[in-house]
Chains A and B, each alone.
Chain A
Amino acid sequence: GQSLEQPSEVTAVEGAIVQINCTYQTSGFYGLSWYQQHDGGAPTFLSYNALDGLEETGRFSSFLSRSDSYGYLLLQELQMKDSASYFCAVEGTYKYIFGTGTRLKVLA
Chain B
Amino acid sequence: DVKVTQSSRYLVKRTGEKVFLECVQDMDHENMFWYRQDPGLGLRLIYFSYDVKMKEKGDIPEGYSVSREKKERFSLILESASTNQTSMYLCASRPTGDYDYGYTFGSGTRLTVV
Task: Confirm or deny: B103 has a beta carbon within 8 angstroms of a beta carbon on chain A.
Answer: yes
Given A31, A43, A101, which contacts B103 in the complex, CB threshold below 8 Å?
A43
How far is it, in angstroms, between the C-alpha of A48 and the C-alpha of B102 when the chains are bound?
8
- Whether the Cβ atoms of A50 and B45 lie closer than 8 Å is no
Kindly list chain A residues whose C-beta atoms are within 8 Å of the C-beta of B43. Answer: 43, 87, 98
Given A30-B99, A50-B99, A95-B45, residue A45 in contact with residue B107 (CB < 8 A): no
- Whether the Cβ atoms of A87 and B42 lie closer than 8 Å is yes
- Residues A68-91 near B (CB distance < 8 A): 87, 91
How far is it, in angstroms, between the C-alpha of A97 and the C-alpha of B103 when the chains are bound?
12
In the complex formed, the residue of A with least CB distance to B30 is A94
- Whether the Cβ atoms of A101 and B107 lie closer than 8 Å is no
How far is it, in angstroms, between the C-alpha of A31 and the C-alpha of B99 when the chains are bound?
8
Task: Confirm or deny: B67 has a beta carbon within 8 angstroms of a beta carbon on chain A.
Answer: no
Kindly list chain A residues whose C-beta atoms are within 8 Å of the C-beta of B58. Answer: 95
The total of interchain contacts (Cβ-Cβ below 8 angstroms) comes to: 50
Given A44, A50, A95, A99, which contacts B42 in the complex, CB threshold below 8 Å?
A99
Q: How many residues of A contact B (CB 8 A)?
A: 23
**23 A-B interface contacts by CB (under 8 A):** A8-B40, A42-B105, A43-B43, A43-B90, A43-B103, A43-B105, A45-B102, A45-B103, A48-B99, A87-B42, A87-B43, A91-B99, A94-B48, A94-B50, A95-B33, A96-B45, A96-B103, A97-B45, A98-B42, A98-B43, A98-B44, A99-B42, A100-B40
A residues near B, CB below 8 A?
Answer: 8, 30-31, 33, 35, 41-46, 48, 50, 87, 91, 94-101
B residues near A, CB below 8 A?
Answer: 31, 33, 35, 40-45, 48, 50, 56, 58-59, 90, 99-108
Since A42-B90, A95-B45, A101-B42 are in contact, a sample of 16 more A-B pairs with Cβ atoms closer than 8 Å, ordered by chain A residue number, is A30-B99, A42-B106, A42-B108, A43-B90, A43-B103, A44-B105, A45-B101, A45-B102, A45-B104, A48-B99, A48-B100, A50-B99, A87-B43, A91-B99, A94-B31, A98-B44
